[in-house]
Amino acid sequence: MSYSNIPSKILLPSCQDHIDLWQKFIQHNAATSIRDPHLGIKQIVGKYPGPHICFTAAVHGNEPVGVKAFLHLLTLAQEIPILTRGTLSLIIGNPLAFQKGVRYIEEDLNRSFNHKLTSSIEGQRAGLLRR
């Protein structure tokens, strides 16, 4: 089977699908938002100190599967204590591109970490995530 035979809905979810997922993520109350919920960073903090683990999703804005996994994890966290020690950070890599359902806005985010930061949206995001 070639990609040309796969319905476009499977390859490219609609922009509205991405916006709906984004809204569910930022409004989910099983984890706290870091600073501003629109930054797309949530944390689940265990009762006791421990390691800090970070997961990223949607580094490329047209890849929604990781955000769906985050929502599943957040829902699970409401039902059972999934973390007793440490902190789990869930990071939407490129929130603006994700909301638009496109790979990136100005430049590929995953390439923005390997060179001098630019003033592009992705360059600024890479700078934020480096901290």
pLDDT for the residue 33 = 64
Per residue of the chain (131 residues), what is the pLDDT tens digit? 333 443 444 444 566 777 888 888 888 776 776 666 668 888 888 889 999 999 999 999 999 999 999 998 888 888 877 788 899 899 999 998 998 889 999 999 988 877 677 788 888 888 888 87
For residues 5 and 66, give the distance between their C-alpha atoms in angstroms, rounded to a whole number: 24
For residues 74 and 43, give the distance between their C-alpha atoms in angstroms, rounded to a whole number: 10
For residues 47 and 83, give the distance between their C-alpha atoms in angstroms, rounded to a whole number: 8
Cα 96 to the chain's mean position, in Å? 10
pTM of the model as a whole: 0.77
Which amino acid type is present at position 116?
K
* Residue (of 57, 61, 64, 70) closest to 17 by Cα position: 64
Beta bridge partners of 73: none
Q: Which secondary-structure segment (H or E) carries 48?
A: strand 48-57
pLDDT for the residue 5 = 43
pLDDT for the residue 36 = 66
For residues 113 and 17, give the distance between their C-alpha atoms in angstroms, rounded to a whole number: 28
